[in-house]
Amino acid sequence: MIESNVGRWPRTVWERPMSGRTISLMLAVALVLAIAAAAGAPLLGTP
């Protein structure tokens, strides 16, 4: 049961029509957070 479920999970997730949008949104959020952290670190470090 576990092996069959694990084998089906990637297929169901990647075959979803919204998977592409959700992945792109997650990547966009990650990039924004990374840029904000990189730009915010020096600003917060300097009074």
Structural domain of residue 10, as residue ranges?
A: 2-45
Q: How far is CA 35 from the centre of its chain?
A: 15
How many structural domains compose the chain? 1
Q: What is the pLDDT of residue 28?
A: 92
The pLDDT value recorded for residue 24 is 85
Give 1's DSSP letter: -
Per the rule left: phi > 0, alpha: psi between -120 and 50, beta: everything else, 35 is: alpha
pLDDT of residue 30: 93
Residues 6+ apart with CB under 8 A from 19: 13
- The Cα–Cα gap between 38 and 27 comes to 16
pLDDT of residue 3: 54
pLDDT tens readout for residues 1-47 = 455 555 555 555 555 655 677 888 889 999 999 998 888 777 777 66
